[in-house]
Amino acid sequence: MTMLDSHSHAITAAHEIERRTGSHREGVSAGPRLTIVVPTYCEAENVEPLIEALDTALAGIRWEVIFVDDDSPDGTSNLVRQRGERDSRVRAIRRIGRRGLAGAVIEGMLAAAGKIVAVIDGDLQHDERLLSGMLAEIELGADLVIASRYIGAGNAGSGFSKSRQRSSVFATRLTNMLLKTQVSDPMSGFFMIRREVIEAIAPKLSTDGFKLLLDILASSPELKITELPYTFRPRLLGASKLDGLVVADFAGLLLAKFTSNRVSPRFFLFALVGASGLFVHLAVLRTIVVLPVAPFYLAQFLAALVAMTTNFFLNNALTFRDRRLTGLNALKGLGVFYLVCSVGTFANVGIAELIYLRDPSWWLAGIAGAVMAAAFNYSASAMLTWRK
Protein backbone atom coordinates (compact mmCIF):
# COMPACT_ATOMS: atom_id res chain seq x y z
CA MET A 1 0.00 0.00 0.00
CA THR A 2 1.42 3.40 -0.99
CA MET A 3 1.61 6.37 1.40
CA LEU A 4 -1.24 8.03 -0.57
CA ASP A 5 -3.41 4.92 -0.24
CA SER A 6 -2.64 4.81 3.49
CA HIS A 7 -3.70 8.40 3.93
CA SER A 8 -6.91 7.85 1.92
CA HIS A 9 -7.75 4.85 4.11
CA ALA A 10 -7.15 6.93 7.24
CA ILE A 11 -9.39 9.76 5.99
CA THR A 12 -12.18 7.26 5.14
CA ALA A 13 -11.91 5.81 8.65
CA ALA A 14 -12.19 9.31 10.12
CA HIS A 15 -15.40 10.03 8.19
CA GLU A 16 -16.87 6.69 9.32
CA ILE A 17 -16.14 7.64 12.94
CA GLU A 18 -17.85 10.99 12.27
CA ARG A 19 -20.96 9.17 10.97
CA ARG A 20 -21.13 6.81 13.96
CA THR A 21 -20.51 9.44 16.61
CA GLY A 22 -22.78 12.18 15.22
CA SER A 23 -25.43 13.60 17.54
CA HIS A 24 -28.89 11.99 17.34
CA ARG A 25 -30.58 14.12 19.97
CA GLU A 26 -33.19 16.33 18.36
CA GLY A 27 -32.50 20.04 18.82
CA VAL A 28 -28.97 19.51 20.11
CA SER A 29 -26.01 20.05 17.82
CA ALA A 30 -22.84 18.13 18.53
CA GLY A 31 -19.73 20.04 19.48
CA PRO A 32 -16.66 20.16 17.25
CA ARG A 33 -14.43 17.14 16.84
CA LEU A 34 -11.56 19.40 15.93
CA THR A 35 -10.45 22.83 17.12
CA ILE A 36 -7.97 24.76 14.99
CA VAL A 37 -5.94 27.37 16.89
CA VAL A 38 -4.55 30.24 14.83
CA PRO A 39 -2.20 32.68 16.60
CA THR A 40 -2.27 36.08 14.88
CA TYR A 41 -0.73 39.51 14.88
CA CYS A 42 -1.63 41.84 12.02
CA GLU A 43 -3.12 39.13 9.80
CA ALA A 44 -6.37 40.93 8.85
CA GLU A 45 -5.82 40.24 5.14
CA ASN A 46 -5.62 36.49 5.75
CA VAL A 47 -8.63 35.96 8.04
CA GLU A 48 -11.31 35.38 5.40
CA PRO A 49 -9.09 33.38 2.98
CA LEU A 50 -8.01 31.06 5.81
CA ILE A 51 -11.57 30.43 7.02
CA GLU A 52 -12.71 29.66 3.48
CA ALA A 53 -9.75 27.31 3.01
CA LEU A 54 -10.59 25.49 6.25
CA ASP A 55 -14.24 25.21 5.22
CA THR A 56 -13.23 23.50 2.00
CA ALA A 57 -10.54 21.27 3.52
CA LEU A 58 -12.72 20.08 6.43
CA ALA A 59 -15.97 19.41 4.58
CA GLY A 60 -18.00 16.78 6.45
CA ILE A 61 -16.06 17.28 9.72
CA ARG A 62 -17.35 19.24 12.73
CA TRP A 63 -14.77 21.92 13.47
CA GLU A 64 -14.20 25.29 15.03
CA VAL A 65 -11.39 27.80 14.65
CA ILE A 66 -10.04 30.04 17.41
CA PHE A 67 -8.01 33.06 16.36
CA VAL A 68 -5.85 34.17 19.29
CA ASP A 69 -4.85 37.73 18.50
CA ASP A 70 -2.25 39.82 20.34
CA ASP A 71 -4.30 43.03 20.02
CA SER A 72 -3.34 43.66 16.39
CA PRO A 73 -3.55 47.34 15.39
CA ASP A 74 -4.91 46.32 11.97
CA GLY A 75 -8.18 45.08 13.50
CA THR A 76 -7.61 41.35 13.03
CA SER A 77 -9.73 40.39 16.05
CA ASN A 78 -12.61 42.65 14.93
CA LEU A 79 -12.72 40.93 11.54
CA VAL A 80 -12.78 37.53 13.25
CA ARG A 81 -15.68 38.62 15.49
CA GLN A 82 -17.63 39.93 12.52
CA ARG A 83 -17.24 36.57 10.80
CA GLY A 84 -18.14 34.82 14.06
CA GLU A 85 -21.46 36.68 14.17
CA ARG A 86 -22.37 34.87 10.93
CA ASP A 87 -20.55 31.61 11.62
CA SER A 88 -20.61 30.03 15.10
CA ARG A 89 -17.57 27.93 14.22
CA VAL A 90 -15.37 31.04 14.30
CA ARG A 91 -14.16 32.42 17.63
CA ALA A 92 -11.76 35.17 18.70
CA ILE A 93 -9.57 35.66 21.76
CA ARG A 94 -8.09 39.15 21.99
CA ARG A 95 -5.09 39.32 24.31
CA ILE A 96 -4.33 42.66 25.97
CA GLY A 97 -0.88 43.29 27.42
CA ARG A 98 0.34 39.80 26.53
CA ARG A 99 2.58 38.83 23.66
CA GLY A 100 4.26 35.68 22.43
CA LEU A 101 3.37 32.98 19.94
CA ALA A 102 3.69 30.06 22.36
CA GLY A 103 1.54 31.73 25.01
CA ALA A 104 -1.14 32.56 22.45
CA VAL A 105 -1.29 28.97 21.19
CA ILE A 106 -1.47 27.52 24.71
CA GLU A 107 -4.29 29.91 25.59
CA GLY A 108 -6.22 28.92 22.48
CA MET A 109 -5.69 25.20 23.09
CA LEU A 110 -6.98 25.41 26.65
CA ALA A 111 -10.08 27.24 25.38
CA ALA A 112 -10.80 24.57 22.74
CA ALA A 113 -14.15 22.77 22.68
CA GLY A 114 -12.81 19.95 20.52
CA LYS A 115 -11.02 16.99 22.07
CA ILE A 116 -8.43 17.25 19.31
CA VAL A 117 -6.57 20.50 18.66
CA ALA A 118 -4.57 21.61 15.64
CA VAL A 119 -2.19 24.55 15.40
CA ILE A 120 -1.79 26.33 12.08
CA ASP A 121 -0.33 29.69 11.11
CA GLY A 122 -2.58 32.51 9.97
CA ASP A 123 -0.50 33.30 6.87
CA LEU A 124 -1.69 30.37 4.68
CA GLN A 125 1.84 28.93 4.45
CA HIS A 126 0.69 25.70 6.11
CA ASP A 127 -1.32 23.37 3.89
CA GLU A 128 -4.76 23.13 5.52
CA ARG A 129 -5.65 20.22 3.21
CA LEU A 130 -3.48 17.99 5.43
CA LEU A 131 -5.72 18.55 8.47
CA SER A 132 -8.23 15.78 7.66
CA GLY A 133 -5.43 13.24 7.30
CA MET A 134 -3.85 14.44 10.55
CA LEU A 135 -7.21 14.07 12.30
CA ALA A 136 -7.57 10.53 10.99
CA GLU A 137 -4.13 9.62 12.38
CA ILE A 138 -5.09 10.96 15.82
CA GLU A 139 -8.35 9.02 15.82
CA LEU A 140 -6.46 5.88 14.82
CA GLY A 141 -4.27 6.14 17.93
CA ALA A 142 -1.60 8.85 17.62
CA ASP A 143 -1.23 11.41 20.43
CA LEU A 144 0.56 13.95 18.28
CA VAL A 145 0.75 14.40 14.51
CA ILE A 146 3.43 16.67 13.09
CA ALA A 147 3.26 18.16 9.62
CA SER A 148 6.88 17.84 8.51
CA ARG A 149 8.86 19.65 5.83
CA TYR A 150 11.68 17.12 6.08
CA ILE A 151 10.13 13.69 5.64
CA GLY A 152 9.03 11.83 2.51
CA ALA A 153 7.66 14.20 -0.11
CA GLY A 154 7.66 17.14 2.30
CA ASN A 155 9.85 20.18 1.72
CA ALA A 156 10.29 23.79 2.75
CA GLY A 157 9.43 24.85 -0.79
CA SER A 158 9.67 28.52 -1.73
CA GLY A 159 8.27 29.49 1.67
CA PHE A 160 11.80 29.46 3.10
CA SER A 161 14.86 31.32 1.89
CA LYS A 162 18.03 29.24 1.52
CA SER A 163 19.50 30.73 4.69
CA ARG A 164 16.36 29.96 6.69
CA GLN A 165 16.33 26.40 5.37
CA ARG A 166 19.93 25.89 6.48
CA SER A 167 19.18 27.41 9.90
CA SER A 168 16.11 25.22 10.32
CA VAL A 169 18.00 22.03 9.43
CA PHE A 170 20.82 22.94 11.84
CA ALA A 171 18.33 23.73 14.64
CA THR A 172 16.59 20.39 14.04
CA ARG A 173 19.84 18.43 14.33
CA LEU A 174 20.90 20.34 17.44
CA THR A 175 17.52 19.78 19.09
CA ASN A 176 17.46 16.06 18.38
CA MET A 177 21.01 15.72 19.71
CA LEU A 178 20.56 17.68 22.96
CA LEU A 179 16.98 16.77 23.84
CA LYS A 180 17.01 13.23 22.45
CA THR A 181 13.96 13.91 20.29
CA GLN A 182 13.53 11.66 17.27
CA VAL A 183 11.33 13.59 14.86
CA SER A 184 12.26 15.11 11.52
CA ASP A 185 10.79 18.57 12.14
CA PRO A 186 10.68 19.56 15.86
CA MET A 187 10.59 23.23 14.75
CA SER A 188 7.27 22.80 12.92
CA GLY A 189 4.51 25.24 13.74
CA PHE A 190 1.90 22.96 12.14
CA PHE A 191 0.75 20.04 14.28
CA MET A 192 -2.25 18.33 15.89
CA ILE A 193 -2.55 16.92 19.40
CA ARG A 194 -5.07 15.49 21.83
CA ARG A 195 -6.40 18.25 24.11
CA GLU A 196 -6.00 16.04 27.19
CA VAL A 197 -2.25 15.91 26.54
CA ILE A 198 -1.97 19.71 26.48
CA GLU A 199 -4.08 20.06 29.61
CA ALA A 200 -1.75 17.66 31.41
CA ILE A 201 1.53 19.32 30.43
CA ALA A 202 0.44 22.98 30.16
CA PRO A 203 2.03 23.95 33.53
CA LYS A 204 5.42 22.76 32.21
CA LEU A 205 5.29 24.76 28.98
CA SER A 206 6.94 28.12 28.42
CA THR A 207 4.65 30.90 27.21
CA ASP A 208 7.62 32.77 25.73
CA GLY A 209 9.11 32.25 22.30
CA PHE A 210 8.02 30.63 19.06
CA LYS A 211 8.82 26.93 19.24
CA LEU A 212 5.95 25.37 21.20
CA LEU A 213 6.23 21.96 19.51
CA LEU A 214 9.83 21.61 20.71
CA ASP A 215 8.63 22.40 24.24
CA ILE A 216 5.86 19.78 23.99
CA LEU A 217 8.27 17.12 22.76
CA ALA A 218 10.74 17.82 25.58
CA SER A 219 8.02 17.98 28.25
CA SER A 220 6.23 14.79 27.23
CA PRO A 221 8.68 12.35 25.58
CA GLU A 222 6.36 9.32 25.87
CA LEU A 223 3.86 10.53 23.25
CA LYS A 224 2.90 8.34 20.31
CA ILE A 225 3.93 10.49 17.35
CA THR A 226 3.14 10.35 13.63
CA GLU A 227 4.65 12.62 10.99
CA LEU A 228 3.04 13.51 7.67
CA PRO A 229 4.84 15.33 4.84
CA TYR A 230 3.76 18.71 3.48
CA THR A 231 5.17 21.52 1.37
CA PHE A 232 5.66 24.86 3.10
CA ARG A 233 3.99 27.52 0.95
CA PRO A 234 5.19 31.10 0.34
CA ARG A 235 3.39 33.94 2.13
CA LEU A 236 1.09 35.85 -0.23
CA LEU A 237 -0.39 38.52 2.06
CA GLY A 238 0.89 40.37 5.12
CA ALA A 239 4.41 40.39 6.54
CA SER A 240 6.40 37.74 8.41
CA LYS A 241 6.70 38.24 12.19
CA LEU A 242 9.89 36.18 12.50
CA ASP A 243 13.12 38.10 13.06
CA GLY A 244 16.56 37.68 14.58
CA LEU A 245 15.04 37.37 18.06
CA VAL A 246 13.82 33.89 17.12
CA VAL A 247 17.40 32.63 17.40
CA ALA A 248 17.70 33.91 20.97
CA ASP A 249 14.28 32.47 21.84
CA PHE A 250 15.28 29.09 20.44
CA ALA A 251 18.58 29.06 22.35
CA GLY A 252 16.80 30.02 25.58
CA LEU A 253 14.16 27.32 25.22
CA LEU A 254 16.77 24.71 24.32
CA LEU A 255 18.80 25.58 27.43
CA ALA A 256 15.68 25.51 29.61
CA LYS A 257 14.74 22.03 28.46
CA PHE A 258 18.31 20.76 28.56
CA THR A 259 18.49 21.86 32.23
CA SER A 260 15.03 20.42 33.03
CA ASN A 261 13.59 23.95 33.33
CA ARG A 262 16.13 24.99 35.98
CA VAL A 263 17.08 27.91 33.75
CA SER A 264 14.15 29.81 32.24
CA PRO A 265 14.35 31.11 28.65
CA ARG A 266 13.77 34.65 29.89
CA PHE A 267 16.61 34.44 32.43
CA PHE A 268 18.90 33.16 29.67
CA LEU A 269 18.13 36.25 27.59
CA PHE A 270 18.61 38.50 30.63
CA ALA A 271 22.01 36.92 31.31
CA LEU A 272 22.95 37.26 27.63
CA VAL A 273 22.17 40.97 27.74
CA GLY A 274 24.13 41.26 30.98
CA ALA A 275 27.17 39.66 29.33
CA SER A 276 26.98 42.19 26.49
CA GLY A 277 26.88 44.92 29.14
CA LEU A 278 30.28 43.81 30.39
CA PHE A 279 31.82 44.50 26.98
CA VAL A 280 30.10 47.89 26.85
CA HIS A 281 31.42 48.70 30.33
CA LEU A 282 35.00 47.78 29.43
CA ALA A 283 34.88 49.67 26.11
CA VAL A 284 33.65 52.88 27.76
CA LEU A 285 36.09 52.52 30.65
CA ARG A 286 39.03 52.05 28.32
CA THR A 287 38.03 55.06 26.21
CA ILE A 288 37.80 57.38 29.23
CA VAL A 289 41.00 56.09 30.84
CA VAL A 290 43.04 56.29 27.62
CA LEU A 291 41.97 59.83 26.68
CA PRO A 292 42.10 60.60 29.75
CA VAL A 293 39.21 62.93 30.58
CA ALA A 294 38.30 61.86 34.13
CA PRO A 295 39.82 60.15 37.18
CA PHE A 296 39.42 56.37 37.33
CA TYR A 297 36.61 56.31 39.91
CA LEU A 298 34.54 58.64 37.73
CA ALA A 299 35.39 56.65 34.62
CA GLN A 300 34.22 53.49 36.37
CA PHE A 301 30.96 55.18 37.37
CA LEU A 302 30.28 56.48 33.86
CA ALA A 303 31.09 53.11 32.29
CA ALA A 304 28.67 51.38 34.69
CA LEU A 305 25.97 53.96 33.90
CA VAL A 306 26.34 53.47 30.15
CA ALA A 307 26.32 49.67 30.53
CA MET A 308 23.16 49.75 32.67
CA THR A 309 21.49 52.03 30.13
CA THR A 310 22.27 49.76 27.17
CA ASN A 311 21.21 46.72 29.23
CA PHE A 312 17.87 48.35 29.99
CA PHE A 313 17.04 49.06 26.36
CA LEU A 314 18.22 45.64 25.19
CA ASN A 315 16.14 43.91 27.86
CA ASN A 316 13.18 46.11 26.96
CA ALA A 317 13.47 45.07 23.30
CA LEU A 318 14.45 41.43 23.83
CA THR A 319 14.00 39.84 27.25
CA PHE A 320 10.77 41.61 28.22
CA ARG A 321 9.46 42.54 24.78
CA ASP A 322 6.03 41.16 25.69
CA ARG A 323 5.96 43.80 28.47
CA ARG A 324 7.83 46.46 26.52
CA LEU A 325 7.84 49.93 28.08
CA THR A 326 7.32 52.96 25.86
CA GLY A 327 7.27 56.73 26.25
CA LEU A 328 7.23 58.07 29.79
CA ASN A 329 6.93 54.55 31.20
CA ALA A 330 10.27 53.68 29.59
CA LEU A 331 11.96 56.61 31.35
CA LYS A 332 10.42 55.60 34.66
CA GLY A 333 11.46 52.01 34.04
CA LEU A 334 15.02 53.13 33.33
CA GLY A 335 15.18 54.86 36.71
CA VAL A 336 13.88 51.76 38.48
CA PHE A 337 16.38 49.62 36.57
CA TYR A 338 19.25 51.83 37.74
CA LEU A 339 18.08 51.35 41.32
CA VAL A 340 17.66 47.58 40.93
CA CYS A 341 21.13 47.18 39.42
CA SER A 342 22.69 49.32 42.16
CA VAL A 343 21.22 47.05 44.83
CA GLY A 344 22.38 44.04 42.80
CA THR A 345 25.92 45.42 42.85
CA PHE A 346 25.88 45.56 46.65
CA ALA A 347 24.59 41.95 46.68
CA ASN A 348 27.41 40.98 44.33
CA VAL A 349 30.09 42.53 46.57
CA GLY A 350 28.58 41.14 49.78
CA ILE A 351 28.29 37.54 48.58
CA ALA A 352 31.72 37.60 46.96
CA GLU A 353 33.32 38.95 50.13
CA LEU A 354 31.58 36.34 52.29
CA ILE A 355 32.78 33.47 50.08
CA TYR A 356 36.29 34.89 49.78
CA LEU A 357 36.69 34.99 53.56
CA ARG A 358 35.90 31.27 53.71
CA ASP A 359 37.80 30.22 50.60
CA PRO A 360 40.45 32.59 49.20
CA SER A 361 39.71 31.57 45.61
CA TRP A 362 39.10 34.95 44.02
CA TRP A 363 37.59 33.51 40.84
CA LEU A 364 35.07 31.39 42.76
CA ALA A 365 34.05 34.36 44.88
CA GLY A 366 33.76 36.55 41.80
CA ILE A 367 31.58 34.08 39.91
CA ALA A 368 29.31 33.49 42.93
CA GLY A 369 28.84 37.22 43.40
CA ALA A 370 28.08 37.76 39.72
CA VAL A 371 25.53 34.92 39.65
CA MET A 372 23.83 36.26 42.78
CA ALA A 373 23.68 39.75 41.30
CA ALA A 374 22.27 38.43 38.01
CA ALA A 375 19.58 36.40 39.81
CA PHE A 376 18.64 39.35 42.02
CA ASN A 377 18.59 41.83 39.13
CA TYR A 378 16.46 39.49 37.02
CA SER A 379 13.91 38.81 39.77
CA ALA A 380 13.70 42.44 40.87
CA SER A 381 13.48 43.70 37.28
CA ALA A 382 10.66 41.29 36.47
CA MET A 383 8.71 42.42 39.55
CA LEU A 384 9.51 46.14 39.57
CA THR A 385 10.73 47.35 36.18
CA TRP A 386 8.75 45.17 33.76
CA ARG A 387 5.96 44.07 36.09
CA LYS A 388 2.83 42.68 34.44
Greater pLDDT, 256 or 199: 199
d(CA 60, CA 56): 9
The string of pLDDT tens digits covering residues 31-65 is 899 999 999 988 999 999 999 999 999 999 999 99
pLDDT in tens, 68-91: 999 889 999 999 999 999 999 999
**Which ranges of the chain would DSSP assign to H, the alpha helix?**
3-21, 47-57, 76-86, 101-110, 131-139, 162-179, 195-201, 212-219, 245-258, 265-290, 296-317, 327-358, 362-380
- Count other Cβ atoms within 10 Å, centred on residue 243: 7
pTM, rounded to two decimals: 0.69
List all residues 6 or more positions away from 117 whose beta carbon is below 8 Å from its beta carbon.
Answer: 34, 35, 36, 37, 109, 192, 193, 194, 195, 198
Q: Given a cut of 50, is residue 22 above it in pLDDT? A: no
Q: In this predicted model, what pLDDT tens digit does every residue of 271-302 receive, in sequence order? A: 888 888 888 878 887 888 788 777 777 877 88
Report the pLDDT value the prediction gives residue 305, as an integer from 0 to 100. Answer: 87
Specify the pLDDT at position 21. Answer: 47
